[in-house]
Structures are given as C-alpha cells and as structure tokens.
Structure 1
Amino acid sequence: MNHSSEDLKYLLLLNRLSFGGRPEAAAAVLDPQFTVCEIIERIRAENLWGRAEALQALEKTWDPEREIDAACRQGCHLLPLWDPAYPLLLKQIVDPPLVLYYKGSLVSADDVALAVVGARHPSLYGLQQTARFVRALSERGMTIVSGFAVGIDRAAHEASLTCSYGRTLAVLGCGLDVSYPKKNQDLTERICERGALISEYALGTPPRGENFPRRNRIISGLSLGTLVVEAHWRSGSLITAHEAIDQGREVFAVPGSVDQLTSSGTHRLIREGATLVTSPDEVFEGLALPAENIRRRLAPFSGQMEFPCEIAASGKENQKCQPDIRQKNDESMILKHLRSGGLPADDLIRALNQPSYQVALQLTELEMAGRIRRMHDGTYQIINHP
C-alpha cells in the first residue's frame, strides 16, 4: 500500500493517543484492509478502542502538520511503522511504536544489536564490566542499545564510541527536543554521528515517570538480546529484561558480589533463568552469531571497515578500538599517580577529579592493555614488565 503525507499526519494523531500498551493500533496500521484515515474515522464514528473523546480533545490542541514542520526544523526524522526502513526486530514485537522520531542514522547493521542496561548508581565494578563487555562486542560489529540514563546506560554508550566503528542507539523517555538527563547532553552529538537518538514520544513530551517503563520495550525490541550488568531488586532494568523475555529475546546477567545491593536484581534474573555470563564471548555465543554472519550484515554500510578476524590476521590487534587523545592523556595521568604505589579506584577518581564512569573506562583500557593490574586488596598497580 502506498502512503501519502496525509497518512503520516493521521499516524501522528494515533501516536499521540494513549493506547496503554495495547497492540491493536499497530495491528490496524499494518492491516492492508484499512488506511490510517479510515482508522481515525472509525475512532470518531464508532468510538474505536474507546478513544473518541480523547481524539476530539487532541485535535483541538495539537496540529500534526506543525509537528512535521517542527521535526524538520530540528533535524528529527519521522519513521512510520509501515516504512521499509523501520527496524525489523522492533516491528516484530506485539506493540511496536507507530512512528519513531530519531536524530542520526539507522542502518541495516543495527539489526545486529545488544541492549545493555543497569543501575543509575552503579559500583566501579559495574562500570568496568560494562566497558569490558561493550568494547569487545562493539569490536565484533554489534550495535549497542541503551536508555541514555546516567550510570550503566551512559557507560554503555561511551564504551561503544571508543571503538572506531562502534555504533550505539539511545532510546529516550521524552521528546527528542527535551534535554534529559542534562548530565548526558554532551553525548548527544557523538551518538548522532555514530548511531541515533530515538523516541516514540512527540516533540516537547516531558520525561514523565510512566514513559520510562514503556520506553523499555523499545530498548529490548531493537535488540537480539539484553545484557543486565548491575541492577537493584526493583530496578527498571528488570522491566527491560522481562520485556525481552516476553519478546522471545535472550537475557544475560553479569553476576556481582552477594552483599552488593546493585547485584540483587541481576542475581534475581539468574535465578529466574537468565544466562549468567562472565565474558563477552559467552554473550556472543549465546546469541548464536558467528563472526562471518555479522560481517555479511555489516558489509552494506561498512565500506573499507576492518573486522576483528582481519585485524588479527594483519597484526593490528591493538588498533581495534582507538582511544582519543584526551583519553590517552587521562590514562597517562592514572599511570603517573600509580608510579608512587598502588591506589584504590576511589582515590584515583578524587585525584583525577573526573566522573567515575570515565575513570572506570580508562582503568579497563589500561588493564586490557596489560599496563596495570587490580590487586586482591582492591588497589591498582602498574605492571613492571621484565
């Protein structure tokens, strides 16, 4: 069925109506027997889904044509559910968004994606494990999806961007023109260059509490599986994990210390049947994605991109993920502080006067490079090679 600009206007009206998670709207939009205009007319005439009064009120206060103009001015793309470019994995869930607002780019390679979620106030261990898993999986060509929150979400987006060809998708619980959370606004431009900011919410929608649980189905829906690094017993990350289960996707959990509050949620998931993982290889194997399959799916957008198997063969193993100059300088400062003796991470964070997620990423880089080692007492020490 061919769709017109008028269809998009009617679809935006449908999108603004609250359907409470019911899948009937998406099913009707995808049904070739009905046009979007006919669905709107049935709501008006027959009170379809009990939304006639809500539609009448909406049409008095909101103009979809102005929404389209505003999106164009702000560089936001509108991707209807019927568009061939709509993410295939997301279209397969029972209640996909009727329209996606996004800034940046969505490419076919993003079909090979992993959601990485966790606590907003993680431990240093959680931040380091996030960096370790995300870097390794980004090197293998996986797109990293997360929710743009502070904590584990931010660490996942950051770590994916350290890989020269890493991609990341950030799913928001507000309109794309709303700055939330403000602490993460420095990431928006970088994410748009190497992925996308995504929302199902109309421009100007504030970050209401009820938006985020509903947003979580998109995070898991865009992904082949969900990795939970750290989560409290009642964390929103568990909602994402349960959405993934309902969608028939894989769920992985990183174990933590038994006396750590941020491990209670991940341990709960493991008891419920999530796959316990201690290395990125276990995630990769759990998704049953051989490297050649990912290589084939990345090929249309990769150009002259080098893949892990080629990098290893060419002897350029250390060039897979190149930290930027600022990060290299920060790592040099860590080594400088450690030359006088071992230090715990908290002391390094205070000495460097940097956010904990940045220090965690730098420590992970140095550990993976064999420059430092974490000792049994929790301190970090320089490795003196013979």
Structure 2
Amino acid sequence: MNSLSEKDWMALLLLNRLGVEDRRRARNLFSEGHRPERVVELLDPRSVATHITFDPQKELSLCWQKGVSLCSILEDAYPVSLREIADPPLVLYMKGRFELNDENALAVVGTRHPSFYGRTQAKRFAGELASKGVTIVSGLARGIDQAAHEAALDVPYGRTIAVLGCGIDIVYPKEHVKLFERISQKGVLISEYAIGTPPLAENFPRRNRIISGLGHGVLVVEAHSRSGSLITAHEALDQGREVFSIPGPVDQLTSRGTHQLIKEGAVLAESPEEVFEALSGKWKVFSTEMSAPVSNASAVCPFKEVVDEKEFPPKTQNPEGETPLLTAGENLNCVVEALNEEGSLMTDEILDITGLDPGELPGILLKLELDGKIRRRRDGKYETGSS
C-alpha cells in the first residue's frame, strides 16, 4: 500500500500514538487489507479518545512547514529490519533519507561520559566499519553516540542514522546542532515522536528498540552497570540480533556494563574486523542501480490525495550521445585493476583513480571483500587478495 491519501496519513499519525497492543491490532488489520482510516474505526473508541486533543491535520502541516518527511510501515521505503521487530513504529518522522545500503547497519552505543579509551574505540570501530559500507546507528547522545556518528560522517561515503528520543524538530542535546545538520545531509535522523515532543526521560529507553531494530547487531563500547546501553543490548537479544561488547580496564566503572554483557554471552570484540566477519552472513550486496536513495513520493510529500506510483529502482537514463554508465561488473573490475596497478590504496585514492561515485563504492568494496578478491589492511588501505 504505497498510495496513501491525506486521510490515510492523518489516521496513521493518530494510530502511531496509541499503546503497544492497539498498534499491534492495527498492524493485524493492515495485513487484512484495511486502510488506516478504517482501522481507526475498528479499534476500541476509548483508546482513540485518549488522544482527542491531537490534531493530525495540523501535524501534517507542521511537517510540511519544517521540512520533515514521513515514512509509514505500509510503504516499501520503511526499513526492512525495523519492520521485523515486535513493536515497530507505524510512522517515522525523518530528516534526510534512507538508502538501500542502510540495510547493512550496526548500532554503536555506550555511556554519555566515556573515557579517552572509550571515545577512541568508538571512533575506531565506527569509522572502520563505515569505511566497509556499514551504516552506523546510534542515538545522538553525548559521549559514545556522538563519537560513533562523527566517525561515520568523517568517512567520504559513510552513512549514519540517529534515532531521537524527542520530536524530529528538536535538537537534543543543544550543542549537537552542527552534528544534527551533518546527519540530515549525509544520513538520516528519525523519530517516532510527534513534532514538538520534548526530550522526556521516559522517551529514551523506549527509542532503544528502534536503535537495535535498525541493524544486524549492537556494539556496546563503554557502559555502567545500569546504563541505558544495556537496555539496547537486551532489546537486541530479544530481536534476535547479535550483541558485541568491547572490554575495558577492570578497575573502570564504565567497564562494568560491557564486562557484564560478555559474562552473559555477548561476543567480545577486539577489532572492527571481528565484528564485520561475525556478521558476514548478514551483509547484503546491492548492484550499482540499486544503490540509489530509497525515495517514496508519499513519504516526502504526504499531502496528495493519491500518490503516483514510481518505478523502483529507477532505470538508468542514457540520452543519445551520452557515455553509458559503467555496469556493476565493470565497476568491480575497475577497482581490482586499480589495486593491481597501484598497489594498496585508501578509499579516497580509489575514488580519485577510478572516478566512481562515492555512494557506490561501499557496496563495491563489500562485494569484493566478501568474494575474497580484496582485503582491508590494518592501516585502512585496500589491496588485492583474501584475508
């Protein structure tokens, strides 16, 4: 159901505010073919009445005014992995946009007050994994979250997703204004909360299920024994995701949570390569044509009565006289040939030599690495040959 009317969107925004059980019933009714407007009518009126002060039409107008996109669980653009969890949001408020490669995601979480060691490891793991085409998911909080987001953004083609515990129009913490803007341009910010929702304490544990649900696993860098990061880790286990934990100094408070997870069975992570290889069976390889951003007209502009269906993935245009784009196979060979001729290269050097689109390179490197044709060295350079 990718063609949603304004009434459908208004109904979805209202349904998104209901409790867990009512949202579950709504999803069941969707699966039976009922449109959102009809689902509202079929649910217990008392549940809907508790949100009588919420004006979904005004909410749509606010989204339009503030440049906020919407993506519903009824659309193909909705993240596949998030759709699989027990309680997925029915609507995501977004700034930025999802790309197909975002299905290759890993959450990186930890304390808001990391040590120098913790911050260094967060940057190391997030940066190296992002350079392999892994999208880094976190919560835009101070500390480990911030370090993980920034490390991913510092990679030329790195992607990161920030899951907020407040309305998408609110920057929290306030000092992350620049980081907020960078993510909106080079990744995506998402929230399940309505416009203007303040960063209440109870919102953050709830959003953790989304952080873990967006990826194939969760990496905990540093955490106290009662840290919210442990909630994210346990959510991941409930969702069937892998949990990785970086060990730390035994006399450090922020090591207690990570060591506790290791005792409970989390994978002890000593290097980004270990995490990447542990999830090798989960990574998906997308062709060049499939690496375009996931766009959905109804997600970007939900005010049309009926949204026109768009072909996806879009066909590559080749006007007369224009040089055809390289095929996926030619792109793969192009990278291998560059490494054979030049020796080991950093990713920016590969881009300079091959002229490939930065957005395509992560998928190409991932496929070549999984095929055993190239490997990434400890210094970050790629070379031909298997690991």
Q: Please confirm whether the aligned pair reaches a TM-score higher than 0.5, indicating the same fold.
A: yes
What amino acid is the match of 2:345? E
Query: Which shifted more, 157-166 or 178-187?
Result: 178-187
| Corresponding position of 1:379 | none
What amino acid is the match of 2:51? L
Tell me the distance in 2 between the aligned counterparts of 1:175 and 1:119.
22
What amino acid is the match of 1:56? A
Of 213, 216, 222, which aligns to 2:214?
222
The 5-angstrom pairing of residues 28-177 of structure 1 reads 28=28, 30-43=30-43, 47=44, 52-59=45-52, 61-177=53-169
Query: Which shifted more, 136-145 or 26-35?
Result: 26-35
The 5-angstrom pairing of residues 256-295 of structure 1 reads 256-289=248-281, 293-294=284-285
Tell me, yes or no, if the aligned pair for 2:30 and 2:39 is still in contact at 8 Å: no
User: Are residue 190 (structure 1) and residue 207 (structure 2) matched?
Assistant: no
Tell me, yes or no, if the aligned pair for 1:109 and 1:143 is still in contact at 8 Å: yes
SS at match of 1:227: strand
Higher helix share: 1
Give the gaps of 5 or more residues in structure 2.
294-324, 351-377, 381-387
- The CA deviation at 1:309 is 6.6
Deviations 1:161-207 (A, max 9, x none): 11000000000000011121112111111101111110000001111
Deviations 1:289-318 (A, max 9, x none): 588x54648952399898997575554623
User: Are residue 301 (structure 1) and residue 292 (structure 2) matched?
Assistant: yes
- The CA deviation at 1:16 is 2.0
SS at match of 2:243: strand
The 5-angstrom pairing of residues 368-379 of structure 1 reads none
| Corresponding position of 2:308 | none
| Corresponding position of 1:317 | 345
Structure 1 residues 22 and 261: CA distance shift in structure 2, 3 A: farther
| Corresponding position of 1:335 | none
| Corresponding position of 2:246 | 254
* TM-score with structure 1 setting the length: 0.75
Tell me, yes or no, if the aligned pair for 2:26 and 2:39 is still in contact at 8 Å: no
Tell me the distance in 1 between the aligned counterparts of 2:268 and 2:12.
41
* TM-score with structure 2 setting the length: 0.75
User: Are residue 206 (structure 1) and residue 198 (structure 2) matched?
Assistant: yes
| Corresponding position of 2:227 | 235
SS at match of 1:198: strand
Tell me, yes or no, if the aligned pair for 1:251 and 1:275 is still in contact at 8 Å: yes
- The CA deviation at 1:254 is 0.5
What amino acid is the match of 1:58? H
Cα RMSD (Å) = 2.8
Tell me the distance in 2 between the aligned counterparts of 1:208 and 1:315.
52
Query: Which shifted more, 312-321 or 158-167?
Result: 312-321
Tell me the distance in 2 between the aligned counterparts of 1:231 and 1:80.
33
Tell me the distance in 2 between the aligned counterparts of 1:208 and 1:80.
24
Tell me the distance in 2 between the aligned counterparts of 1:81 and 1:186.
30
SS at match of 2:236: helix
Tell me the distance in 1 between the aligned counterparts of 2:223 and 2:288.
32
Tell me the distance in 2 between the aligned counterparts of 1:195 and 1:229.
22
Tell me, yes or no, if the aligned pair for 1:230 and 1:265 is still in contact at 8 Å: yes
User: Are residue 15 (structure 1) and residue 7 (structure 2) matched?
Assistant: no
Tell me the distance in 2 between the aligned counterparts of 1:58 and 1:259.
49
Tell me, yes or no, if the aligned pair for 2:216 and 2:282 is still in contact at 8 Å: no
What amino acid is the match of 1:9? M
- The CA deviation at 1:7 is 1.1
Deviations 1:225-254 (A, max 9, x none): 110011110100011111111111111000
User: Are residue 4 (structure 1) and residue 32 (structure 2) matched?
Assistant: no
Tell me, yes or no, if the aligned pair for 1:164 and 1:321 is still in contact at 8 Å: no
- The CA deviation at 1:41 is 1.4
Structure 1 residues 237 and 316: CA distance shift in structure 2, 3 A: same
Structure 1 residues 115 and 297: CA distance shift in structure 2, 3 A: farther
Give the gaps of 5 or more residues in structure 1.
323-366, 370-386
Deviations 1:101-121 (A, max 9, x none): 000011111000010000000
Structure 1 residues 299 and 137: CA distance shift in structure 2, 3 A: farther
Deviations 1:78-123 (A, max 9, x none): 1111011100000011110000000001111100001000000000
What amino acid is the match of 1:171? V
Tell me, yes or no, if the aligned pair for 2:100 and 2:290 is still in contact at 8 Å: no
Query: Which shifted more, 19-28 or 212-221?
Result: 19-28
Structure 1 residues 316 and 26: CA distance shift in structure 2, 3 A: farther
